[in-house]
Every structure is written in C-alpha cells, then in structure tokens.
Amino acid sequence: MVELAFSILAADFTHLADEIARAERGGGTIVHVDVMDGHFVPNITFGPPVVEAVRKVTKLPLDCHLMIENPDEFIPEFARAGADMISVQWEACPHLNRTLQHIADHGVLAGVVINPATPVDFLVEVLPMVHHVLVMSVNPGFGGQKFLPRSVERIAHLRRLRHEMGLNFRIEVDGGVADDTVESVVRAGADMLVAGSAIFAGGKAEENAREFLRIARAATAVSV
Ligand code: DX5
Ligand code: ZN
C-alpha cells in the first residue's frame, strides 16, 4: 500500500497540531520528522522535545529521519520521545550494522537513508536488517528543492535487489516529491512517499494531501 509520510518541516509551526490534523484528514498516514544538526547538513531543525510534543497530538506513526552526526548518541532519546521509526544516514554511520541494531533494541523500526551520491549497492549487507530504506531524491538539508530525476532508477534498482534477495523492506523516497513527480517514484517501486512543501503549501494540507494521494494511487508499480 502506498502511503503519504507528510514532512512537518514545511508546516506552519505556530499551528502544528492543526496542520498535522489537516494532513491526516487528507489521507496522510505517517508523520515524517526531519531532524537536522547543523553538522551533517547545513541546517538546524528540531530534536526530541518536538517529537514528544507531536506524539501528544496524533496517533499516527512518527518517522524520524536523523540527518545528524553520531546518531547512536541520540537514538535512546528519540525512542523515549515516541518515535515509531528511526532512519539514519548511511554517510553518517561508520558502524551501521551496530547502529541499526541499536535502533531495533529500543523497540523502534530501523531504516537506512542514502544520499543521491551514494550507490544503492552499498546497502546490500544491511538490507536484511532494515524495515525501510529511504532514497533521498534531493541532497538533504532543506525542503522545497527540485527532485533529482536519477532517483527513479535508483528506486527501481533497490526494488530489484529486494526481489533478488527475497526481502520485504519498504522503500521510502524523500525530496521534491510532488504532484508532478510522484507517479514516477510509485511506478519505480516507492511505497512510503515523503512530501513537505507539496502538502503544506497555502495552508491547504487536507486538499493537497488528498490530490497527491489520488495521483499516487492511480500509479502502480511496474513489475520487477
Ligand atoms: C530534506 C528533508 C525532506 C524535506 C522534504 O532534507 O529530508 O524530508 O522536508 O521536503 P519537500 O517535500 O519540500 O522536498
Ligand atoms: Zn526527510
């Protein structure tokens, strides 16, 4: 099932609970939380206190995308704050196997993220231990960037690997996913669709989410 993971980075923070409620009414089923530390990426966003606050205003699963250095240090805190899923950047984790195990040990679904310049094949050793793989379709750090077209082939490649290895992790895509790009990523095999600016634009998260999902669900994945 194709799901919308709406990124609250693009929401109106002064009315965050209302924004989340609107995106949920429009069909969004996952809250995507972009955590940035000003080191791994050139931007700072929010940390565990915001996750804890969001946890109180929605029952939807919280998907925490950690764009931070030393994620191991913070995993327990995000887990305590209410994260249901935590994904870490391949590029930030010299001991990725241990980091993913660390996430799972906290009762949280573990994911790995790859930047546009990281080959998909570098993931082979950890694919059996992840719940989801997040393919970045922009360079992380900011919302509202342009979708990188090569991401489509990268998703398709990952989907072929999943098939060949007999696994069933989910494929998530993040960055520049909007009404004009969502069909191509769904056809390639993505089923967790992160979208921020496409959803929260104009304070119309409900309408935007509904239209986004209509387009996404009209597209089906092509066979492997
Ligand atoms: C980028 C973040 C994204 C971002 C997506 O570093 O990981 O989740 O919020 O925003 P849009 O949908 O505006 O590209
Ligand atoms: Zn993200």
Query: What confidence tens digit (pLDDT) does each residue in 99-127 have?
Result: 999 999 999 999 999 999 999 999 999 99
Q: Which of 37, 63, 174, 191 is catalytic?
A: 174
pLDDT at 220 over 90: no
Tell me, yes or no, if 174 is annotated catalytic.
yes
pLDDT-based confidence at 163, cuts 50/70/90? very high
Measure the CA–CA gap between 157 and 145, rounded to whole angstroms. Answer: 23
- Taking residues 139-158, what's their average pLDDT? 98
How many Å apart are CA 124 and CA 91, to the nearest integer? 15
What mean pLDDT, rounded, does the chain reach? 98
Average pLDDT of span 179-207: 98
Distance in Å, CA 96 to ligand 1 centroid:
23
Are the C-beta atoms of residues 90 and 122 closer than 8 Å to each other?
Answer: yes
Place of tokens 């992790």: 169
Q: What value does the mean pLDDT take over residues 92-101?
A: 98
The 10s digit of each residue's pLDDT in 2-53 is 999 999 999 999 999 999 999 999 999 999 999 999 999 999 999 999 999 9
Tell me, using a 6 A CB cutoff, whether residue 63 lines ligand 1: no
18 CB contacts (<8 Å, ≥6 apart)?
none
193-216 in b/e form (b: 16+ CB < 10 A) is bbbbbbbbeeeebbebbbbbbeeb
Write the CA distances from 169 to 41, 109, 183, integer angstroms.
Answer: 26, 11, 20
Selection from 132, 148, 215, 213 nearest residue 180 by Cα: 215
Q: Tell me the C-alpha distance between 209 and 170, whole Å.
A: 21
pLDDT score at 221: 77
Run of H or E including 206: helix 205-218
pLDDT at res. 223: 73
- When pLDDT is cut at 50, 70 and 90, the band that residue 224 belongs to is confident
**What does the pLDDT read at residue 183?**
98
> Does the beta carbon of 197 lie inside 6 Å of ligand 1?
yes
Q: What is the pLDDT of residue 222?
A: 80
* For the CA of 199, the nearest atom of ligand 1: 12
Write phi, then psi, for 173 (nearest 5 degrees).
Answer: -130, 145
Tokens coding 96: 């990725």
Q: How much distance in Å is there from the Cα of 36 to the middle of ligand 2? A: 9
**How far, in Å, CA of 214 to CA of 224, rounded?**
23
